[in-house]
Amino acid sequence: MIIDDIQRAFAASGLITRGAFHATTADDVPEGGRTVVMIGNAGPDMWRAFAKTERSSANPLDSWTREVLDPIAVGFGATALYPFNGPPYHPFQRWAMRADDVTPSPIGPLIHPMFGLWHAYRGALVFDAELDIQTPSRTPSPCASCTDKRCLNTCPVGAFSEHGYDVPTCRTHIAAPDGQDCLEGGCLARRACPIGQDYIYEPAQAAFHMMHFLDPK
Ligand code: B12
């Protein structure tokens, strides 16, 4: 299957295929795109490969992602699309739900039954042909049977509520001395989720993402 070949092409980068789907007009895939293969990370493997590289640009992870994905896309005759460089943004979370067994968590990011909240998307390969792909398995969201919902009541400044995610309150907190645990170790609400604890990001990776969130270039 071509997906296995694509997976092998990404092996050295720590990136993995995150499922695929056949595009319909409702998916808002650029015209002509018939099959979308999602590429992303789960756990720290991508970070370990990225951390060995030189960082010179303002958005080093985004530049590195392009350096990895663009030649692989060319090799497979696909177009590479990215979740960054918006707005407007490509609807990566919607595409992810089409491609894989992921569902929205109460705090926003999609939850995966094995990786929990410790996964993300770095790109998508779009093909103009209908490739042979597997339909993702669909299991109930782990959040459906979670009774204590620690993700919703752990944030020290209550940034997650029935009104959604209060981004300014979160940013103000992590920029202050009281928010150093979130800034250096990653979002406490995300860390409180019991699913996918084996895939939790390393402190350096968590800190990198939190710094970028605090100060997007
Ligand atoms: C803008 C943005 C933000 C903004 C959010 C502003 C806001 N209040 O909405 C800020 C900067 C605050 C942010 C923060 C973070 N983000 Co962000 N963000 C994005 C970005 C670049 C665009 C989102 C967007 O506007 N999409 C446009 C719409 C059209 O696309 P969409 O797929 O339809 O997305 C919407 C639906 O999924 C919808 N939605 C939600 N629930 C449901 C349920 C159903 C059934 C449906 C159909 C839709 C739906 O909400 C999405 C809008 O955000 C995406 C990347 C991307 N291209 O999607 C990452 C992205 C969503 N972020 C991501 C992450 C990881 C984070 C952080 C955890 C980063 C960190 N600090 O470590 C934080 C915390 C987020 C949180 N707790 O909610 C990941 C999520 C991965 C995942 N597991 O789902 C993404 C996909 C980036 C990536 N590279 O993987 N983010």
Residues 46-69 pLDDT 10s: 999 999 998 878 889 999 999 999
Smallest CA-to-CA distance from 173 within 161, 194, 158 is with: 158
Question: For 131-143, how does the pLDDT look when each residue is reduced to its tens digit (9 = 90+)?
Answer: 999 999 999 999 9
Answer yes or no: is 132 within a domain: no
Spacing, Cα 194 to ligand 1 middle (Å): 21
Range of the domain at 82: 2-127
With beta carbons less than 8 A apart as the criterion, state whether 69 and 84 touch. Answer: no
Residue with tokens 């992590």: 174
CA-based angle 186:190:162, to the nearest 5? 125
pTM (2 d.p.): 0.95
Structural domain tally of the chain? 2
| Residues flanking ligand 1, CB < 6 Å | 83, 86, 89-94, 104, 107-110, 119-121, 165, 167, 187, 209-210, 213
Let me know whether 121 and 146 are in one domain: no
Pocket test for ligand 1, best of 47, 65, 92, 169 (most atoms within 8 A of CB): 92
Question: For 62-119, how does the pLDDT look when each residue is reduced to its tens digit (9 = 90+)?
Answer: 999 999 999 999 999 999 999 998 999 999 999 999 999 999 999 999 999 999 999 9
Let me know whether 201 and 154 are in one domain: yes
